[in-house]
Amino acid sequence: MVDYIVDGNIAVLEINNPPVNALSIHVREGLLTGIQKANQDGSVQAIVIIGKGSTFPSGADIREFGKPPKEPWLTAVGEAIEASEKPVISALHGTALGGGLEVALFSHYRIADERSRVGFPEVKLGLLPGAQGTIRLPRLTGLAVAMRIITSGDHINAPEALKYGILDKLISGNLLQEAKTFAKSVIGKPLDNRRLSKIAVRDAATVDKHFDEALAEVKRKYKGMIAPVNCLKSIRGSAKLPFVEAARLEAALFRELLTSAQSAALRYSFFADRSAPRWKLPSGASIENTKPDIIKSVAVIGAGTMGSAIAICFIRVGIPVLLVEQNDKLLQNALKNIGQILQGSVKLNRITADQRKQSLQILRGETSLDIVSDVDLVVEAVFENLKLKQEIFARLDKICKPSALLCSNTSTLDIDKIAVATNRPGKVAGMHFFAPAHIMKLLENVYGTHTSPSTVATIMDIGKRIGKVSVLVRTCDGFVANRMNRMVGNEAVFMLEEGALPQDVDRVLEDFGMAMGPFRVTDLSGSDVGWRIRQERAKEQGIQLTYETRFVNGERYSSLPDRLYELGRYGQKTGKGWYRYEKPFARTAYPDPEITDVINSHCRSLGIERRVIPPQEIIERCLFAAINEGFKVLEEGVAEKPENIDIIWQYGLGFPRYRGGPMFYASQVGLKTIYERVCYYYDAFPHSSYWAPSDLLRKLASHSTEVPIDQWTSKERSRL
């Protein structure tokens, strides 16, 4: 894994551990023996460390964390590098990250390909750069820059790294040749002033000021996360303590993080990010064996909230869009709105004015469906009404060329019921964007019974092209996100009836780490949407909903949200919802005594006695209900693996990444506990049938030891 090559008086240690040259145990062993060998070899006068393939090491091997650590540790390897009597030059290319950058900081010199990037992304894994990264970097860059680089985890490009003093020289030609030439030029020069452990932090006197400012910033930016705080404590140590003591403090802070639940969740999330977009159908078709079609043009039908934002997703990556609305007035409004959204992106420096102009040049608005005959992909985003969608799909089927894919942005409707309206069910699928669609990263792609593998490949591929995190799920009511999130919404409202207030529920879930509590989310998206869906469903079933309705088809029902609707409290858009706002469309939510009155009088009129609901119950009722549903989603094969569910929650529903997602969180709580609490709530609330425990959950919980999350599906599902 580390080749030792001597060329004249230079020893080259070439790290060869594809794909990213991670510093696995064999690489660490190879580096250590290489340094020792070069120091013993009388013909060698300088040593070059370089990566083979596309990169210098991009960090420690993340898969080794969580397993018993194997020696030599990176710190020991690094100390041997620094102690070398012969100059060691790290020659960087690609991405020199984490432990990779630490190897470079132990070296006496660092040169780099001018296109390379460096950084300490450990914080994104809930860790700190624990091989002296936090105490060596400030010695080169000063405290403020080190604090920023380490707590953000951002990559720094080579010219910037040169400016900060992290690098000594940039190389534009052949890196290895240049490294050898550089090595020859430093032979015989004193090394002590190149050993960072011998150098002081130049602005150590100002450390408290930098620490306080950076701490306030990370507490605001990375609320609830412990790693950025530990990073700062360690950097403070680098300035306040002698080197050896600072290293000891860093090691202690690193250990604390390594064994933390947050780091376990973030490391899981790192691999889940990479695994979730890898799709596989029950037929065996998969990303590995199915080629996508290349989409060159798109039509979006319906230019409301979603359609307009979906159009932006395509035009900003250069894919032309035909946007179709019912009438010219609505169309012109939408086009104006799109122009304004893009103008906002220019102001925020997300795109340039030129990019905005180019995007708008490939957007064309129309009021007739007939013009979409030649597009490769249609995304329908009209009202959530099955009959309307079926009519539109039937027309599209006649108008569009046979190869075109017809997709719906429906948030709940069965894709099969939409596909039957066409003669091309293999080319019909769901592309479920999340509001605001031009910002939210998630794309929940939905396949139906007849959706062909090549359609799936194409929607997954186009999702990636437009910069989304695409996750594939099978059609069912609400798919994964809305199906599971319905339980959160239901339980939240039921708890209002039983004793809580909106701000109580939201605060507990936000303290847990959710981006927003369910009532703030409803106020943001508008409670009129839900009211319309409830009324429509009731009408279909011939049911009359009143304030006294407490059960629908035997299921518990709360009319509290209906009361709000009828008071005109739609949320932010009307300046009043579950909270009060200063004016319509204002963002800051204030608890509203009027809402307390509405809830109290609702309870009085129904004879419900209110009680104090403890925070733990709020967490359990919202999250455990969703988790139980998640197991049903797995059991039915709606989601192929737990990672898919967790990524959907992270990118679509604001679940804190440092808790991994609801399914990973369940693995940390323990499946026995989850199962017992689900059974308890099912006993307590038999009229909420979603509390019926999932068979898969029951099976997994019955094992004497916890079944690891990566074994939750295939084996157990086949035994059900």
Ligand X SMILES: CCCCCCCCCCCCCC(=O)CC(=O)SCCNC(=O)CCNC(=O)[C@H](O)C(C)(C)COP(=O)(O)OP(=O)(O)OC[C@H]1O[C@@H](n2cnc3c(N)ncnc32)[C@H](O)[C@@H]1OP(=O)(O)O
Q: Is 302 in the site for ligand NAI (CB under 6 A)?
A: yes
Q: Is 410 in the site for ligand NAI (CB under 6 A)?
A: yes
Q: Is 16 in the site for ligand X (CB under 6 A)?
A: no
Q: Are 624 and 442 in contact (CB under 8 A)?
A: no
Interactions with ligand NAI, residue window 326-345 (CB under 6 A): 326, 330
122 a catalytic residue: yes
Residues in the chain: 720
Q: Is 24 in the site for ligand NAI (CB under 6 A)?
A: no
Q: Is 225 in the site for ligand NAI (CB under 6 A)?
A: no
Which partner from the list ligand NAI, ligand X, none does 409 bind, CB cut-off 5 to 8 Å by kind?
Answer: ligand NAI
Segment near ligand X (CB under 6 A); pick from 58-66, 141-149, 191-199, 657-665? 58-66
Q: Is 525 in the site for ligand NAI (CB under 6 A)?
A: yes
Which partner from the list ligand NAI, ligand X, none does 330 bind, CB cut-off 5 to 8 Å by kind?
Answer: ligand NAI
If phi over 0 gives left and psi between -120 and 50 gives alpha, with beta otherwise, what is residue 641? beta
Q: Is 394 in the site for ligand NAI (CB under 6 A)?
A: no
Cis upstream peptide for 19 (omega within 30°): yes
CA 715 to chain centre: 27
Contacts 24+ apart (CB under 8 A), 705-713: 706/667, 706/670, 706/671, 707/671, 708/667, 709/268, 709/642, 709/663, 709/664, 709/667, 712/634, 712/641, 712/642, 712/663, 713/634, 713/640, 713/641, 713/642
Which partner from the list ligand X, ligand NAI, none does 324 bind, CB cut-off 5 to 8 Å by kind?
Answer: ligand NAI
Q: Is 426 exposed, middle or buried (0-12, 13-18, 19+ CB in 10 A)?
A: middle
Q: How far is the CB of 500 from ligand NAI (least distance, A)?
A: 25
CA torsion angle 428 434 437 443 (round to 10): -50
Which partner from the list ligand X, ligand NAI, none does 250 bind, CB cut-off 5 to 8 Å by kind?
Answer: none
Q: Is 75 in the site for ligand X (CB under 6 A)?
A: yes
Q: Are 102 and 58 in contact (CB under 8 A)?
A: no
Q: Is 411 in the site for ligand NAI (CB under 6 A)?
A: yes
Q: Which is nearer to ligand X, 124 or 236 (CB)?
A: 124
Which partner from the list ligand NAI, ligand X, none does 623 bind, CB cut-off 5 to 8 Å by kind?
Answer: none
The count of chain residues that interact with ligand NAI, using the rule CB under 6 A, is 23
The count of chain residues that interact with ligand X, using the rule CB under 6 A, is 30
Which partner from the list ligand NAI, ligand X, none does 693 bind, CB cut-off 5 to 8 Å by kind?
Answer: none
Cis upstream peptide for 68 (omega within 30°): no
Residues of 545-577 as b/e, b for ≥16 C-beta within 10 angstroms? Answer: beeeeeeeeeebbbbbbbbbbeeebbbbbbbbb
Which partner from the list ligand NAI, ligand X, none does 668 bind, CB cut-off 5 to 8 Å by kind?
Answer: none
In the numeric block, the tokens 């590098």 are attached to: 81
Q: How far is the CB of 119 from ligand X (least distance, A)?
A: 8
Q: Is 559 in the site for ligand NAI (CB under 6 A)?
A: no
Q: Is 454 in the site for ligand NAI (CB under 6 A)?
A: no
Q: Is 418 in the site for ligand NAI (CB under 6 A)?
A: no
Which partner from the list ligand X, ligand NAI, none does 301 bind, CB cut-off 5 to 8 Å by kind?
Answer: ligand NAI
| Tokens encoding 3 | 């080749």
In the numeric block, the tokens 């939750």 are attached to: 712
| Tokens encoding 188 | 């015989």
Q: How far is CA 314 from CA 366, 367, 524, in A?
A: 17, 19, 25
Q: Is 61 in the site for ligand X (CB under 6 A)?
A: yes
Interactions with ligand X, residue window 255-314 (CB under 6 A): 255, 258-259, 271, 274
From 69, 318, 344, 614, residue interacting with ligand X (rule: CB under 6 A): 69
Q: Is 132 in the site for ligand NAI (CB under 6 A)?
A: no
| Tokens encoding 49 | 């460390």
The alpha carbons of the chain give a radius of gyration, in whole angstroms, of: 29
Segment near ligand X (CB under 6 A); pick from 59-67, 346-354, 401-409, 415-423? 59-67
Interactions with ligand X, residue window 127-156 (CB under 6 A): 127, 129-131
Interactions with ligand X, residue window 244-263 (CB under 6 A): 255, 258-259
Interactions with ligand NAI, residue window 28-47 (CB under 6 A): none
Q: Is 27 in the site for ligand X (CB under 6 A)?
A: no
Segment near ligand X (CB under 6 A); pick from 124-132, 415-423, 446-454, 524-532? 124-132
Q: Which is nearer to ligand NAI, 547 or 585 (CB)?
A: 585
Q: Is 435 in the site for ligand NAI (CB under 6 A)?
A: yes
Q: Is 250 exposed, middle or buried (0-12, 13-18, 19+ CB in 10 A)?
A: buried
What is the phi/psi pair of residue 364, to 5°?
Answer: -130, 130
Q: Which is nearer to ligand NAI, 243 or 565 (CB)?
A: 565
Active-site annotation holder among 14, 79, 102, 380: 102
- Dist. CA 370–CA 363, nearest whole Å: 17
Which partner from the list ligand NAI, ligand X, none does 61 bind, CB cut-off 5 to 8 Å by kind?
Answer: ligand X
Segment near ligand NAI (CB under 6 A); pick from 292-300, 304-312, 506-514, 583-591? 304-312
Interactions with ligand X, residue window 84-123 (CB under 6 A): 95, 97-99, 102, 121-122
Handedness of CA 670, 672, 677, 682 (dihedral sign): positive
Reduce the DSSP state of residue 474 to 3 states and report it.
Answer: strand
Q: Which is nearer to ligand X, 253 or 258 (CB)?
A: 258
Which partner from the list ligand X, ligand NAI, none does 410 bind, CB cut-off 5 to 8 Å by kind?
Answer: ligand NAI
- Dist. CA 536–CA 252, nearest whole Å: 59
DSSP assignment string, 287-342: TTT-PPPPP--EEEE--SHHHHHHHHHHHTTT--EEEE-SSHHHHHHHHHHHHHHH
CA 336 to chain centre: 31
Q: Is 572 in the site for ligand NAI (CB under 6 A)?
A: no
- Dist. CA 263–CA 585, nearest whole Å: 38
Q: Which is nearer to ligand NAI, 73 or 531 (CB)?
A: 531
Residues 6+ apart with CB under 8 A from 249: 233, 234, 237, 241
Q: Is 384 in the site for ligand NAI (CB under 6 A)?
A: yes
Q: Indicate the helix (H) or strand (E) that contains 239.
A: helix 227-240
Q: Is 232 in the site for ligand NAI (CB under 6 A)?
A: no
Q: Is 383 in the site for ligand NAI (CB under 6 A)?
A: yes
| Tokens encoding 43 | 């013909």
- Dist. CA 405–CA 349, nearest whole Å: 34
In the complex, the residues that contact ligand X under the rule CB under 6 A are: 19-20, 22, 58-63, 69, 73-75, 95, 97-99, 102, 121-122, 125, 127, 129-131, 255, 258-259, 271, 274
In the complex, the residues that contact ligand NAI under the rule CB under 6 A are: 301-307, 324-326, 330, 381-384, 392, 409-411, 433-435, 525
Catalytic positions: 102, 122
